[in-house]
């Protein structure tokens, strides 16, 4: 037997327990997202949390997400495995493996892991929801995808959100631009911090979205991306922007938006919140990807998608005071003063009839049970005393916030109870 720990176990650094009611609020967010995605013709896909390390190495040898932050280890048989740092690579791996009919429009939700320095809004285990589409190059799809991300946030009631859009051009454009940026910053090397010099060597484009103010003037004078876009990529981008204007999604062009993963080409975008800390203000992001299907062993396939960070979206909702996520309250709370059998039987009967009901175990006085009934948020208390029991009736008493002030309590026959509860204004179908 192992000894009991001297200190109680705690969740790992950067990994959080999500307790009620927050867990229910997450699920409500997920349900809304799922409904919106399905209205747009996306079907749900679910892929493993654990994959061969190689699946994620394709995200970019130059990205921190892959080189520094990935949880990876050798399996008992020696295979190198990794916990997914994002969902896109797994979805594209599944696409290559199963070769579904194209276009493949899917939505996906799940947990991702990054060994980052934890802080508010930045965790080592976090949830994402998003979509991926494979097999369509049409810029109007970019509009659909960006609009879906935008609308998902707007539907939660978020107002302080900025949509940043950019186009990184095609593979060759991006490569030429990267070289130009590398040469430019190499000439300024001595003005860069040590970390920035390292970034310059590994992934010069990332210098463009550096947050260090001293770098600002140098970034402003850096080569401009627009000059490196091919005519085709530029036309694609123009069509995306025109589409966003047409459907009324407000955007800000952000020529320095490079994003943290290496697989992007053409359209890239990010949604930031003005209501939370600037260091973690990205609620989501995405774009078209370059060569991901090929890198995972498939045929060249156009792909685009985005992910929203659920944890951060909820922080933004808190900051803006929207989407409190309060679920529908219970229909009834049974207060049994006759020993508990009535509570046992009534709750079962109501639930079987599709109503929601709870009760207090261990009995207690009328006063104490009523206190629990109030706290439960139920619409009514169903009181069963000796008198009601004899008469085959239940006293139905409206609770606080549900007409307790003007609603008279009344006696209802047990066989009429389900109908009486369904007729209450606060009743939701479950
Ligand atoms: P990403 O920008 O790395 O993109 O992550 C998307 C969102 O996940 C971020 O905007 C943020 O809200 C959330 N997020 C990322 N890291 C953390 C963290 N450590 N703690 C809390 N939230 C976090 C992707 O993951 C791409 N796969 C998006 C995509 C899909 N591109 C194309 N398709």
What's the pLDDT at 407? 66
Residues 126 and 103 reside in one and the same domain: yes
**DSSP reduced 3-state for 119:** strand
**Encoding tokens for residue 412?**
């209802």
Of the three residues 269, 287, 320, the one that is the final residue of a domain is: 320
Establish if 194 belongs to a structural domain: no
Residues 124 and 61 reside in one and the same domain: yes
Establish if 63 belongs to a structural domain: yes
> 123, 312, 314, 315: which to mutate for ligand 1, most atoms within 8 A of CB?
312
In which element (H, E) is residue 372 found?
helix 366-375
Residues 307 and 343 reside in one and the same domain: no
CA–CA gap between residue 350 and residue 89 (Å, rounded): 46
**Encoding tokens for residue 175?**
């490569």
Residues 337 and 297 reside in one and the same domain: no
Q: How far is the CA of 260 from the centre of ligand 1 (A)?
A: 9
Nearest CA to ligand 1 atom 31: 286
| Domain membership of residue 376 as a residue range | 332-429
Establish if 216 belongs to a structural domain: no
Residues 250 and 389 reside in one and the same domain: no
Residues 264 and 343 reside in one and the same domain: no
Residues 309 and 369 reside in one and the same domain: no
Nearest ligand 1 atom to the CA of 313 is 12
Nearest ligand 1 atom to the CA of 132 is 33
**Encoding tokens for residue 286?**
């995405």
β-pair partners for 382: 334, 396
What's the pLDDT at 203? 86
What's the pLDDT at 67? 78
Contact 132, 92 (CB under 8 A): yes
Q: How far is the CA of 406 from the centre of ligand 1 (A)?
A: 50
Nearest CA to ligand 1 atom 30: 306
Nearest CA to ligand 1 atom 10: 284
Low pLDDT (below 50) residues in the chain: none
Output the domain CATH number for residue 309. Answer: 3.30.930.10
35, 119, 219 from 122: Cα distances, Å:
27, 5, 26
Nearest CA to ligand 1 atom 23: 309
Pocket of ligand 1 (CB under 6 A): 86-88, 114, 116, 122-123, 126, 128, 130, 132, 260-261, 282-287, 289, 305-307, 309, 311-312
Burial track 21-40 (b if 16+ CB lie within 10 A, e otherwise): eeeebbebbeebbeebbeee
**Encoding tokens for residue 322?**
């929207």
DSSP string, 291-342: SHHHHTTS----EEEEEEEHHHHHHHHHHHT------PPPSEEEEE-SSSHH
**DSSP reduced 3-state for 249:** coil
Of the three residues 264, 289, 320, the one that is the final residue of a domain is: 320
Residues 298 and 342 reside in one and the same domain: no
Nearest ligand 1 atom to the CA of 122 is 20
Contact 163, 252 (CB under 8 A): yes
β-pair partners for 282: 272
Q: How far is the CA of 399 from the centre of ligand 1 (A)?
A: 43
- Long-range own/partner contacts, residues 155-158 (CB < 8 A, 24 or more apart): 155/32, 155/36, 156/29, 156/32, 156/313, 156/317, 156/322, 156/323, 157/317, 157/320, 157/322, 157/323, 158/273, 158/275, 158/283, 158/313, 158/316, 158/317, 158/320, 158/322, 158/323
Q: How far is the CA of 238 from the centre of ligand 1 (A)?
A: 26
102 CB neighbour count, 10 Å cutoff: 13
Establish if 210 belongs to a structural domain: no
CA–CA gap between residue 256 and residue 275 (Å, rounded): 22
Nearest ligand 1 atom to the CA of 310 is 12
What's the pLDDT at 429? 57
18, 126, 216 from 118: Cα distances, Å:
16, 11, 26
Output the domain CATH number for residue 394. Answer: 3.40.50.800
Nearest CA to ligand 1 atom 33: 305
Residues 43 and 100 reside in one and the same domain: yes
Q: How far is the CA of 307 from the centre of ligand 1 (A)?
A: 6
Establish if 181 belongs to a structural domain: no
Residues 358 and 311 reside in one and the same domain: no
CA–CA gap between residue 389 and residue 132 (Å, rounded): 58
Q: Residue 411 region, left (φ>0) first, then alpha (ψ -120 to 50), else beta?
A: beta
Of the three residues 295, 320, 345, the one that is the final residue of a domain is: 320
Our measurement of the distance from residue 354's CA atom to the centroid of its chain's CA atoms, rounded to an integer in Å, reads: 30
Establish if 47 belongs to a structural domain: yes
**DSSP reduced 3-state for 165:** strand
Q: How far is the CA of 405 from the centre of ligand 1 (A)?
A: 48
Contact 253, 241 (CB under 8 A): yes
Establish if 162 belongs to a structural domain: yes
Nearest CA to ligand 1 atom 3: 260
**DSSP reduced 3-state for 153:** helix
Establish if 348 belongs to a structural domain: yes
Q: How far is the CA of 215 from the centre of ligand 1 (A)?
A: 25
β-pair partners for 130: 108, 307
Contacts of 220 (CB under 8 A, 6+ apart): none
Task: Please tell me whether the peptide bond between 3 and the residue prior to it is cis, using omega within 30 degrees of 0.
Answer: no
Instruction: Report the domain count for the chain.
Output: 2
CA–CA gap between residue 174 and residue 223 (Å, rounded): 12
Nearest ligand 1 atom to the CA of 284 is 10
Residues 145 and 260 reside in one and the same domain: yes
Residues 29 and 121 reside in one and the same domain: yes
Q: How far is the CA of 130 from the centre of ligand 1 (A)?
A: 10
Q: Per DSSP, which regions of 208-281 are E strands?
A: 252-253, 264-273
What's the pLDDT at 379? 94
Q: Measure the CA angle with vertex 345, ends 342 and 350; round to 5°.
A: 115
């Amino acid at each position: 037997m192992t000894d009991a720990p001297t200190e109680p176990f705690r969740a790992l650094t950067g990994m959080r327990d999500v307790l009620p009611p927050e867990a229910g609020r997450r699920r409500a967010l997920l349900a809304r997202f799922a409904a919106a995605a399905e209205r747009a013709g996306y079907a749900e896909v679910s892929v493993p949390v654990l994959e061969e390390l190689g699946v994620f190495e394709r995200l970019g040898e130059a990205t921190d997400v892959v080189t520094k932050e990935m949880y990876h280890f050798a399996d008992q048989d020696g295979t190198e495995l990794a916990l997914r740092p994002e969902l896109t690579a797994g979805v594209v791996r599944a696409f290559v493996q199963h070769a579904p009919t194209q276009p493949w429009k899917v939505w996906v939700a799940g947990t991702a892991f990054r060994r980052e320095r934890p802080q508010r809004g930045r965790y080592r285990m976090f949830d994402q929801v998003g979509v991926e589409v494979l097999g369509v190059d049409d810029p109007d799809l970019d509009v659909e995808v960006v609009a879906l991300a935008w609308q998902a946030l707007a539907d939660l009631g978020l107002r302080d959100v900025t949509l940043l859009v950019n186009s990184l051009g095609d593979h060759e454009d991006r490569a030429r631009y990267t070289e130009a940026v590398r040469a430019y910053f190499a000439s300024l090397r001595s003005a860069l911090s040590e970390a920035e010099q390292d970034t310059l060597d590994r992934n010069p484009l990332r210098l463009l979205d550096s947050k260090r103010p001293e770098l600002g003037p140098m970034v402003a004078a850096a080569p401009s991306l627009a000059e490196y876009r091919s005519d085709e990529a530029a036309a694609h981008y123009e069509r995306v922007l025109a589409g966003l204007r047409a459907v009324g999604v407000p955007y800000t062009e952000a020529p320095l938006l490079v994003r943290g993963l290496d697989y992007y080409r053409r359209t890239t975008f990010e949604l930031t919140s003005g209501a939370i800390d600037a260091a973690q203000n990205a609620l989501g992001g995405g774009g078209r990807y370059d060569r991901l299907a090929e890198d995972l062993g498939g045929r060249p396939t156009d792909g685009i998608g985005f992910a929203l960070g659920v944890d951060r979206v909820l922080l933004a909702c808190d900051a803006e005071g929207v989407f409190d996520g309060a679920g529908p309250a219970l229909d009834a709370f049974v207060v049994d003063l006759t020993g508990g059998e009535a509570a046992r039987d009534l709750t079962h009967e109501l639930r079987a009839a599709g109503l929601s009901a709870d009760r207090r175990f261990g009995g207690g006085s009328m006063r104490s049970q009523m206190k629990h009934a109030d706290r439960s948020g139920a619409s009514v208390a169903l009181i069963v005393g000796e008198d009601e029991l004899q008469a085959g009736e239940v006293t139905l008493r409206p609770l606080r916030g549900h007409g307790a002030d003007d609603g008279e309590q009344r006696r209802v026959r047990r066989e009429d109870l389900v109908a009486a509860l369904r007729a209450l204004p606060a009743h939701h179908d479950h």
